[in-house]
C-alpha cells in the first residue's frame, strides 16, 4: 500500500509533484529507490522536450569572494517570473556564480570556443604527444582525449560541480529543470578579479 508518508518522502527527495510521486510509487510497487530512478528518467526526458522553449525570465546572480578581490555576475534564465522568484532557482543561480568564481571557465558551452582557439589547442596537444615519443598512428586519439579534458576545464556546463564533484554542471542544470518543470539555461557570465587586465 502506498502511504502519504511515502509520497511525501519521495517528493522531498526528488522535488517532483505529488501525483507524479504517487504514480511512480504505484508503478514501482512501493519501492522508493526504484521510484526515484523512474522519476529521474522521466524528468530527464521531459527536460529534453522543454529545451526548445524560450527562457526569457530569470535572474542575474552575483558572488563576491571573501576579501572582495574576486566577483562574478551570471545570467540564469527560465520561462516564467514565478519560477525565477523561487528559492530553488535563486539558489541554483548563486551556485553557478560560485562555480564560475571557483573553477574559472572561459565559456558556458563548447560551441562558444572559436575554431582558431581549438586549432591552437589541437596543435599544442599533437606537438606535445610527438615530443613525448607517442606513435604517429595514435596521435589523433591522444589529441581527442586531451581536447575532451580541455572542454571539461574551460566549458562551464562540462565542469564538475564544486559542491558535488560526481555531477557536471549540465547534470545539475538538467535536475533543476526537471524539478522546476521549466526550461532553465545559463546564458552568460562575467568574472572580475581586482587588478586583472581585460
What pLDDT sits at residue 65?
93
User: Cβ–Cβ contacts within 10 Å for residue 158, how many?
Assistant: 20
**pLDDT at residue 45 is higher than 50:** no
What pLDDT sits at residue 31?
86
Break the chain into its structural domains and give their ranges: 4-50, 57-108+155-193, 114-153
Give the CATH class of 57-108+155-193.
alpha beta
Which sign does the torsion angle of CA 158, 161, 166, 172 carry? negative
Give mean pLDDT, residues 121-136: 89
Q: Checking DSSP bridges between strand 57-64 and strand 164-168, what pairing results, if any? A: unpaired
What pLDDT sits at residue 150?
94
Residue 17 vs residue 128, higher pLDDT: 128
Q: Which residues pair with 64 in a beta bridge?
A: 71
**Distance from C-alpha of 158 to C-alpha of 105, rounded to nearest angstrom:** 10
* Identical fold between 4-50 and 114-153: no
Q: Per residue in 85-118, pLDDT tens?
A: 999 999 999 999 999 999 999 999 999 999 999 9
Residue 10 vs residue 111, higher pLDDT: 111
Give mean pLDDT, residues 37-41: 75
For residues 174-184, one letter each, b for 16 or more C-beta atoms within 10 angstroms of the residue's C-beta and e for the rest, the string is bbbbbbbbbbb
Provide the 3-class DSSP secondary structure of residue 54: coil
User: Cβ–Cβ contacts within 10 Å for residue 125, how many?
Assistant: 19
Phi, psi of 185 (to 5 degrees): -145, 155
How far apart, in Å, are the Cα atoms of 160 and each of 85, 102, 139, 157, 170? Answer: 26, 11, 27, 8, 9
**pLDDT at residue 15 is higher than 70:** no
- pLDDT band with cut points at 50, 70 and 90 for residue 185: very high
What pLDDT sits at residue 47?
46
What pLDDT sits at residue 151?
94
Relative orientation angle of helices 32-50 and 4-14, to the nearest 10 degrees: 50
**Dihedral (Cα; 16, 18, 23, 26), 10-degree rounding:** 110
Fold held by 4-50 = Helicase, Ruva Protein; domain 3 (1.10.8)
Fold held by 114-153 = GTP Cyclohydrolase I; Chain A, domain 1 (1.10.286)
- pLDDT band with cut points at 50, 70 and 90 for residue 187: very high
Q: Per residue in 138-162, pLDDT tens?
A: 888 999 999 999 999 999 999 999 9
Amino acid at each position: 500500500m502506498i502511504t502519504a508518508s511515502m509520497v511525501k518522502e519521495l517528493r522531498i527527495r526528488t522535488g517532483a509533484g505529488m501525483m507524479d510521486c504517487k504514480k511512480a510509487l504505484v508503478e514501482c510497487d512501493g519501492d522508493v529507490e526504484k521510484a526515484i530512478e523512474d522519476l529521474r528518467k522521466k524528468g530527464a526526458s521531459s527536460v529534453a522536450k522543454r529545451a526548445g522553449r524560450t527562457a526569457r525570465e530569470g535572474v542575474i546572480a552575483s558572488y563576491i569572494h571573501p576579501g572582495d578581490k574576486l566577483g562574478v555576475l551570471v545570467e540564469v534564465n527560465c520561462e516564467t517570473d514565478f519560477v525565477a522568484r523561487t528559492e530553488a532557482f535563486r539558489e541554483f543561480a548563486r551556485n553557478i556564480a560560485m562555480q564560475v568564481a571557483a573553477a574559472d571557465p572561459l565559456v558556458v558551452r563548447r560551441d562558444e570556443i572559436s575554431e582558431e582557439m581549438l586549432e591552437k589547442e589541437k596543435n599544442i596537444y599533437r606537438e606535445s604527444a610527438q615530443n613525448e615519443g607517442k606513435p604517429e598512428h595514435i596521435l589523433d586519439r591522444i589529441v581527442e582525449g586531451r581536447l575532451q579534458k580541455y572542454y571539461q576545464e574551460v566549458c562551464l556546463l562540462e565542469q564538475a560541480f564544486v559542491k558535488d564533484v560526481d555531477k557536471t554542471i549540465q547534470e545539475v542544470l538538467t535536475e533543476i529543470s526537471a524539478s522546476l518543470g521549466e526550461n532553465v539555461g545559463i546564458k552568460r557570465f562575467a568574472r572580475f578579479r581586482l587588478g586583472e587586465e581585460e
